[in-house]
Structure 1
């Protein structure tokens, strides 16, 4: 095996590991492989170049790039004299994690706060009925207390996400140990 083959082999092993790890976060292996491939490129690539490199359809490649753009893991770049869109991977893994984490967690937090707030409002309307069975009223009050405690947790989680977005998390856990 020559040096180029060894280099490609090492890169492929890392790309596969990246793809598997991203799968843990709900990102498909093919999107993970695309990010990994872009990460090792020393220049931005067009969709056609990516398609050729990975052997994926142009539609699949376009969908995958759009997903990576939404996660802020790749960015569109401009190059004088080139009409086609060019893309490159975000190489700052701290920033990639921060963006990925905050996007996913903000969506989850918002969805849970909304569902719990709506449920609390509905339960508060239920417990005011005079002819409501006392066991049901008690259960509804207990549920309200549990959801209020969960809402406090989501307030804390919002603060944690804020610390990632602002970079304050790195005051507590530095990016570099040097």
Structure 2
């Protein structure tokens, strides 16, 4: 088998890995481009420039720039320095499981807290409703808040465990 054939086979395997691993990462609220970029950086043996990312994924430099900023916000990639390289270089951070779980759990907790507060605000505004409607709506809001608090307890326990 020629080295060109070997390279084509290797590229197909890499594309499959990127595709499958990206699907998992999309469950953590990354969009498809962000997930594909993270997996590409994770699999790549050396830090990459935006131009290298663009070429590897066949996307625009603007799309790569946006995706890399989002990945930095999630603390999943970091900018690194290499002597003699003038362009910014990025690489995936280590401790993949812990980084994702910490980010995921914190996002859930923030979202749950916001939803609980929003539901409580709605409940406070129920004074303008007739009494029988008000009681039904208050009951439904109370159930929704209880549901969110239950989820909040689960994610808080996960956060306190050694997983993170």
Shorter-normalised TM range: 0.7 to 0.9
- Can you give the 5+ residue segments of structure 1 that lack an aligned partner in the other structure? 128-135
Residue equivalent to 1:147: 141
* TM-score when normalising by structure 2: 0.79
Secondary structure of the residue aligned to 1:76 is strand
Whether contact under 8 Å (1:72, 1:99) holds in the other structure is: no
Residue equivalent to 1:133: none
Larger Rg: 1
Q: Deviations over 1:108-167 (max 9, x none)?
A: 2133112201111001x236xxxxxxxx3122122213222322332332232233333x
1:10 paired with 2:4, answer no
- Can you give the 5+ residue segments of structure 2 that lack an aligned partner in the other structure? none
Q: 1:89 to 1:10 in 2, by over 3 A?
A: same
Secondary structure of the residue aligned to 2:148 is helix
1:55 paired with 2:58, answer yes
State the aligned residue count.
161
Q: 1:91 to 1:11 in 2, by over 3 A?
A: farther
* TM-score when normalising by structure 1: 0.74
Residue equivalent to 1:104: 107
1:160 paired with 2:154, answer yes
